[in-house]
Structure 1
Amino acid sequence: MRKRERENPCGICGHYHKYEEGEVCGVCGHRLKPAEEEGAPAKLHESAFPTEVLKDFLFLGSYDNASRSEVLKTLSISHILNTVPACQNLYKNSFTYHSLQRDKPMDFDEANQFLEQCERERARVLVHCMTGRSRSAAFVAAFLMKSRGWRLAQCFQWVKDRRPQVQLTDASQQELLEYEQKLFGPSAQSMVPTESFASLGFGLPQRAGDIQAPMFNQTPSIFERVNPNNVPANFTFGAERTLGVNPQDNNNNGAVNPTSTDNPMMDGS
């Protein structure tokens, strides 16, 4: 290896190869895109790493990202959702694949079932299409709507903030709008996703189905549920016996007998 190659690793993947000459990286498989016009400089390939949409769980990327097994293993990704029927699953022995067989309409429910299972198993999953801009982004937005209870505009902005190159097609937007009405009701006001929405970041609503903390005043006290009139005469608190009226003493006018021993002494005089 030449000295220049050792001193100048690839700026995309960090591995040493003749990337300026268009050589394919032997580790991650990326290379520089060819120039569109003669004499124009070559364009850098998009990042070799997919975009993390939900921390330690959901990643969004392209078919190029899905073809780099070493990169996926570095990110601990074990499951892959292939949203394009024409794309091949390259590493069936290394990853768990789920391929959607239908192109149109988009089968959001089938994809969500797979992603929900991955989340329950705490598995990291990559959702990809060819470019990682429209189709796969639409499936990720649909999953956020279903699992988090967010509206379409919020889901789109969440994904867009993390992967700026996302650009939904008109067909994808229309199918997402229909899925939003399916989840939230036909009378729900639709929010068409546009790039003009402000970044939401914090303050998004809680996911649907979250368990709310119980209120303390919902359960009555055990003392409130006991009727004082139903307490038996021989009911004791702790080790002491409740004082009672001695029915044999007719001269105390109903006063409480101060003696509380179990065997009262009798006057023999």
Structure 2
Amino acid sequence: MNLEMFNQIASITDHLYLSSAAAVKPDRIRAVGITHIINCTLDIPNLHLPTIECIQIHVEDAAHARLSIYFDRCADKIHQVHNRGGRTLVHCVAGVSRSASLCIAYLMKYHRLKLVDAYNHVKARRPVIRPNAGFWTQLIDFEHRLFGRNSVRMIQTSFGWIPDVYKEETKHMVRFPSRRY
């Protein structure tokens, strides 16, 4: 795996960017033209620059965490910023689960992409994304609310419940029994 990918700011659209917290540096933010940041971490402080508006969403990267309560709010904010000519960066700690899920929700709501297409779009631009199973369930519910149908479903595997878009990559994986000490 290319670990440098974790430190990159990925362009999802011409006005939406996705990264890890490590990539959020003043010079890099200015170079990309970011005007707004959505920070979805529990304890990484917002970047304080006079020209950048930051929003912090305190949510765990855990299957039980309720990220969906922020789908509309964040998608609407990204859309408003774009309409005013701004650019939004969404980040969490690694730029893999929480922030990727919010970018996917935005693409579904404002670009009218099916969940599978929104996921594939974001994955093509930041290959390390991997929303957790709980966020997938919430994205599936969000897609149904938006479109009245679903393009992704959760399936039972030896690894537990996963979205069917992960099926191919887990096909040749082997589950090792946990050892008790």
Query: What TM-score, normalized by structure 2, do the two folds share?
Result: 0.75
**1:101 shift after superposition:** 4.1
Alignment partner of 2:35: what SS?
Answer: strand
Q: Which of 154, 172, 177 matches 2:117?
A: 154
Q: Matched residues in 1 for 2:21 and 2:58: separation?
A: 16
Please tell me whether residue 51 in structure 1 is matched to residue 48 in structure 2.
no
Q: Matched residues in 2 for 1:126 and 1:114: separation?
A: 11
Residue equivalent to 2:159: none
CA RMSD of aligned residues (A): 2.1
Q: Which of 188, 191, 195 matches 2:152?
A: 191
Residue equivalent to 2:91: 128
Query: Does the 8 Å CA contact 1:100/1:111 hold for their aligned counterparts?
Result: no
Residue equivalent to 1:38: none
Alignment partner of 2:141: what SS?
Answer: helix
Q: Matched residues in 2 for 1:196 and 1:153: separation?
A: 13
**1:46 shift after superposition:** 4.2
Deviations along 1:212-233, one digit per CA (max 9) or x if unpaired, are: xxxxxxxxxxxxxxxxxxxxxx
Please tell me whether residue 119 in structure 1 is matched to residue 76 in structure 2.
no
Please tell me whether residue 79 in structure 1 is matched to residue 40 in structure 2.
no
**1:47 shift after superposition:** 5.7
Unaligned runs of 5+ in 1: 1-42, 198-269
Which range is displaced more, 101-110 or 172-181? 101-110
**1:93 shift after superposition:** 2.4
Q: Matched residues in 2 for 1:101 and 1:83: separation?
A: 6
Please tell me whether residue 145 in structure 1 is matched to residue 108 in structure 2.
yes
Which protein is bigger by CA-based radius of gyration? 1
Residue equivalent to 2:27: 70
Query: What TM-score, normalized by structure 1, do the two folds share?
Result: 0.52
Deviations along 1:13-45, one digit per CA (max 9) or x if unpaired, are: xxxxxxxxxxxxxxxxxxxxxxxxxxxxxx965
Alignment partner of 2:96: what SS?
Answer: coil
Please tell me whether residue 90 in structure 1 is matched to residue 47 in structure 2.
yes
Query: Does the 8 Å CA contact 1:83/1:129 hold for their aligned counterparts?
Result: yes
**Quick check: which one's strand share is greater?**
2
Relative contact order, CA 8 A, sep 6+: which one is greater? 2
Of all paired residues, the percent bearing the same amino acid is 26
**Quick check: which one's helix share is greater?**
2
Deviations along 1:133-171, one digit per CA (max 9) or x if unpaired, are: 111000000000000111100000000011111112111
Query: How many residues are paired up?
Result: 151
Query: Does the 8 Å CA contact 2:19/2:89 hold for their aligned counterparts?
Result: yes
**1:189 shift after superposition:** 3.5
